[in-house]
Structure 1
C-alpha cells in the first residue's frame, strides 16, 4: 500500500487545512502587501477556501474512526472545493471574453449585500461584472483565477484522500 493510502483522516484533514491556510495567506498577502483589490468573484473563491478549511479543521478535531465520518467530511470538503473550482472557472471564462462581450461593472459587493436578498447577490456575482473580467496580475502566464483554480485542484486531493481513507481496507 502506498504512503498516501495509509494517511489517516486527521492527517488528510490537517494537510487540507494547511493548504487552505496557504491559499488564504497568498490571497491576503496580494491584497494587503501588493495592493490588489479582490473582485466579487475573488471574494466568493475565498469563501470556498474558508468553507473547505472549516470542514478540514472539524474533521481533524473529530478524527472519526468509522467510514461514515470520513465519507461525510470527504463529501463536504469536496463540495466546498468543487464550488471553488466552479467559481474560479467562471472567473477565468469572464477573463477570456472579448472586450465587447464583457458585462458592465455593477455595484460593489458590500452595497449589494446591504440592499439585496442573498440569493440575488449570488446570482448577480456569478453572472459577472466588468471588474471581474479585468486581469490585474499575471504570474508565469496565468491570472490569479487561473492560479486559484490550480490551487483548488491540488486542494481536491485532501477530500479525495478522506474518501480513500474511508474506503480502504481496515
Structure 2
C-alpha cells in the first residue's frame, strides 16, 4: 500500500476517533456542544470520509483535495472558537446559527451527535492545559499539513 494511502487511512481514523472523544465528553462528562463545536464535528466527519474515499479510489489527489477543504473549514471554525474564548466579551451564544444547525436533517435524526445545546464560552475546560477548541485547532492544523504534503509530493 502506498504511503499516501496509509496516511489517508490514518487521518480518517484520527478524525473518527476525535468524534468519538467528543461524544464521550458530551455524554459521559456532560460537556454540551456549542454551534462551533458541532460545525467542527461536521468538518472532522467530512475530512475523514473524503480521506477514506481518497485511500480507496484511484483519484487520490481529487479526494485528498476535498478532504483538505474540510480540514481548512474546520481549522477556520476552530480558530474562531479559540478567538471567542480569548475574548470573553464575544459570544456565539443562543443565536440564529444554533437554530439553523439544529434544524438540519442530521441534527434532527442524530441529535446525540449533531445537536448544538451548549454555549461557546463553556468550552473553556482544560485538558492538559489546553481547551477543547485549542486541541481541535491543533488537530485540524496537523491534518491540513499532512494533506498538503500528500497533495504536493511527487510519486516515485
Task: Kindly indicate whether residue 129 of structure 2 is the aligned counterpart of residue 141 of structure 1.
Answer: yes
Query: What value does the CA root-mean-square deviation take over the aligned residues?
Result: 2.6
Residue 108 to residue 37, structure 1, CA distance change in 2 (3 Å): farther
Larger Rg: 1
Q: Which string of whole-angstrom CA distances, capped at 9 and with x for unpartnered residues, describes residues 45-80 of structure 1?
A: 000000001101111221x2xxxx332223212111
CA contact (8 A) 2:5 2:55 kept: yes
1:63-102 map, 5 Å? 64=58, 69-98=59-88, 101-102=89-90
Query: Across the two proteins, how many residue pairs are aligned to each other?
Result: 143
Which runs of structure 2 are paired with 1:1-170 in the superposition (5 Å)?
7-62=2-57, 64=58, 69-98=59-88, 101-103=89-91, 105-107=93-95, 111-113=99-101, 131-164=119-152, 167-170=153-156
Q: 1: CA distance between counterparts of 2:48 and 2:92?
A: 33
Shift of 1:136: 4.2
Is the Cα contact below 8 Å between 1:9 and 1:59 reproduced in 2? no
For normalisation by structure 2, the TM-score amounts to: 0.78
CA–CA separation in structure 1 for the residues paired with 2:131 and 2:47: 22
Contact 1:70/1:162 (<8 A) preserved: no
**TM-score for both structures, normalised by structure 1:** 0.72
Q: Can you give the 5+ residue segments of structure 1 that lack an aligned partner in the other structure?
A: 1-5, 117-129
Gap runs ≥5 in structure 2 = 105-117
